[in-house]
Amino acid sequence: MVKRTCAAIAVSLMLAPPAGADFSHSGSLKNLTVGSRSLVDDDPYVSNLTRLRLEPHYRQGDWTLEAAYDVELVTGSFLDSPEFALLKDAPDPRYWDLQGELTESGDLVARHQLYRGTVQWRSPLGDWRFGRQQVNWSTALIWNPMDILNPVSPLQLEPDERIGVDALLWDTPWGALGRISAVHAPQHEDDEASTAARVKRFVAGVDASVMAGTFADVTKAGVGGSGSLAGTGWRMEAVWSEPDEEASYWQAVADLNWSFRNGVNLALEYFYNGRPAPDPGLSFSRLAAGEPQYADRHYTGLLVWQDINPFWQYRVVAIRNADDHSWVVYPRSTWTLPVSLEVYLTAGVQLFGGNDNSEYGALNNLGLLEAQWFF
């Protein structure tokens, strides 16, 4: 029933805003085409995703309602690949069932979801936000150990897309230079729910934060910070984790970054992963879903991005597994088309290297082409 009413709720809100409310809406239409080979049987495939996103926004007094509703069409030979079968069988980590398939055949899958949907109340005791949202407490650029509720792989094809979490978030200022936040993300089993808090404050030129909480069956505590020294920016995060039935471990990232006068931005990162994925167990389903997982302990990364002119920008991510010496390079270039509409065209590739038994050497190169229109 919830799946059937998801579209009706979004459309009715767009067509009939409450009387006296400040109402606006926006949206986008994206087409993403990806070509590669299956990680399971090495057969070539092409995936074509078309996504319509509607984003109504209402404000009335201290109350704000925001939503992002997606309708997606998937076509191409990817529908016959083992990866697609794994994605279909993977459980959805979100609490509410606000997503589902509209129709499926051998040539087409049509699905929809409430990508974001929140109600926010600005009270004297702070801001309360309830619903499907992104909760990101991270500061680093490539790896994000403190991004616990919305983890994302640095190789995700759409870097700005995050699945979101169904949660209640409370956030309030702490003086002029700090904030205090707390979040609870329920699950259908109590031992899978997450509850955490973060304190963030600007102290002596450092934007520092401390986080602690229980995330499903793992207790976590972390610290983060960012600042600059002699023209060099820096960021760091360190998170300690203790699963209920396993040994504790650390994950940490350190970052140095620079912005040059010609518009080039450069960041170098080192990532330590204290809990490598068991061999041979890199999960194909997690890889296909874009979820982060790491086979070894030591990684280095390079991120370069630049707005060459108002109509052309590029972004390059390069990662090296320092233990097995495998690597990946992911360049993306985006052009703003010279038309009256706000249209962007993006092309990119992911190139992998290393021996066949290494983390990145076992993966297949891919190419992507993306067109997006904002309205």
pLDDT of residue 111 exceeding 60, the answer is yes
Q: Using pLDDT thresholds of 50, 70 and 90, give the confidence band for residue 81.
A: very high
Residue 281: per-residue pLDDT: 44
Residue 284: per-residue pLDDT: 53
Helix segments in 176-327, DSSP class H: 284-289
Distance from C-alpha of 314 to C-alpha of 305, rounded to nearest angstrom: 6
Residue 67: per-residue pLDDT: 98
CA distances to 89, 284, 322, 357 from 354, in Å: 30, 18, 11, 8
Query: Averaged over 106-122, what is the pLDDT?
Result: 96
Query: Averaged over 342-349, what is the pLDDT?
Result: 97
Query: Averaged over 142-168, what is the pLDDT?
Result: 91
User: DSSP secondary structure string, 302-332?
Assistant: EEEEEEEETTEEEEEEEEEETTT--EEEEEE
The residues with which 59 forms a beta bridge, in sequence order, are: 22, 64
Is the full-model pTM beyond 0.85? yes
Q: What is the mean pLDDT of the chain?
A: 91
Is residue 95 within 8 Å of residue 142, measured between CB atoms? no
CA distances to 4, 54, 133, 283, 313 from 1, in Å: 5, 21, 22, 32, 44
Q: Using pLDDT thresholds of 50, 70 and 90, give the confidence band for residue 190.
A: confident
pLDDT of residue 280 exceeding 50, the answer is no
Query: Averaged over 289-294, what is the pLDDT?
Result: 70
Instruction: Name every residue whose Cβ is closer than 8 Å to that of residue 314 and which is 6 or more positions away in sequence.
Output: 304, 305, 306, 308, 331, 332, 333, 334
Stated length of the chain: 375
Domains contained in the chain, CATH given? 134-330 (2.40.160.10)
